[in-house]
Amino acid sequence: MAQLQAVRGTQDLLPAEARRHRTVIETARKIAERYGFGEIATPIFEFTEVFSRPIGETTDVVSKEMYTFKDRGGEEITLRPEYTAGIARAVLSNGLTQATPLKFFGAGPMFRYERPQKGRYRQFHQIDAELIGAAQPQADVEVIAMGAAILDELGVLKSCRLELNTLGDTESRTAYRAALVEYFTRHLDKLSDDSRDRLGRNPLRILDSKDEGDKAIVADAPAFSAYLTDPAKAFFDEVKRGLDALDIAYELNPRLVRGLDYYCHTAFEFITTELGSQGTVLGGGRYDGLMAMMGGPALPAVGWAGGIERLSMLIAEPPAPARPIAVIPVGEAAELEALKLTQRLRGLGHVVDLGYSGNVGKRMKRADKIEARVALVLGEDELARGAVTFRDLDAGSQEEVPLDGLAERLKGLA
């Protein structure tokens, strides 16, 4: 029989790595609550249309990367590739459009079929924030500020730079798209296959091509700033003014685009140099057209997503869990009393390990292996005296402690 392995592009989160993931999520959740963002959890699969309509049938996500299948009822279902469209669907499904502005925070797994790389998996995890129903540029500033606060709390912000751009309004993008098509068409024979494919359906994506030949062509492409309408310029100026007021440093990157079709105005990414080419740890932008695209009212919105895998690689080692107390029964008569003692100590908030078999020597070896702080030995003699033998494994000392004084004795541990 072949050795069982995890599917390519997936990983097992063993306790140490799970602790790092949990640190990222819990830190983000704490900061999000300070900003008034309530937690939301949407299903990890939706009807395919939830993603294919807003993300865009011609994007790489929909055409190449989504995990789509028919369930036993014949419905076409997709494992969620990103959070935003599912949260938008939840707002519409639950009749929340009259309760804006809405602030949501979420965390969970996403699924995309793409080439696994450092910090990128086919099942990956994200933290996510969405502010729905606020058209003002101050909303963009707030979600960026919250992202920066989370990164700062994680100790990651100091190794990141914030890149900022505007995708303008509809009029701006329409004019710029036409200019890009005209420019790239003149260089069609030098573009990569992917960029030639994108030219007719999403030419803005050519701007962030990783192909070296494409980069040389992109360097001389028209600048978006020349096609921005006055209202789009004013909006972006307000975003920059707000970030300046909060002392949030940023770099303007006119080539920064978002990969999904529903973005407009502000686009941003927090990027680190510590993860090689996969440097974006948190990014997002404004997406005023999404709700209407999904059949709802034209609600403005802005949000971001952050990669938990990448963030977990950047944070300091989280505090280890409390060292356990090892309870070691000696003899059959002590087994039941040891079980009761273990339960009592856990009820007092202690981490307790009860070995299930083996003599005292074997159980002491287990206590050493799990780095127990204390071993409590309970045998017939101790039972007769209503006490335990208390072994301080750090100090190498031993004493007998009455059972009714054990809770107090354990309080004194360093």
Residue 126 among known ligand-binding residues = yes
Of the chain, the end-to-end C-alpha distance in Å amounts to 50
Residue 130 among known ligand-binding residues = yes
Q: How far apart are CA 6 and CA 122, in angstroms?
A: 12
Residue 183 among known ligand-binding residues = no
Neighbouring C-beta atoms of residue 169, cutoff 10 Å = 17
Neighbouring C-beta atoms of residue 232, cutoff 10 Å = 22
Structure-block tokens of residue 99? 């309760």
Residue 263 among known ligand-binding residues = yes
Q: Are 143 and 131 in contact (CB under 8 A)?
A: yes
Residue 49 among known ligand-binding residues = no
Burial of 136 (0-12, 13-18, 19+ CB in 10 A): middle
Structure-block tokens of residue 374? 């204390």
Residue 100 among known ligand-binding residues = no
Neighbouring C-beta atoms of residue 373, cutoff 10 Å = 19
Residue 273 among known ligand-binding residues = no
Q: How far apart are CA 207 and CA 342, in angstroms?
A: 62
Checking DSSP bridges between strand 160-166 and strand 251-252, what pairing results, if any?
parallel
Residue 84 among known ligand-binding residues = yes
Q: Are 224 and 172 in contact (CB under 8 A)?
A: yes
Residue 19 among known ligand-binding residues = no
In the beta sheet, which residues pair with residue 251? 163
Binding residues: 82-84, 112, 126, 130, 258, 262-263
Binding-site residue positions for L-histidine = 82-84, 112, 126, 130, 258, 262-263
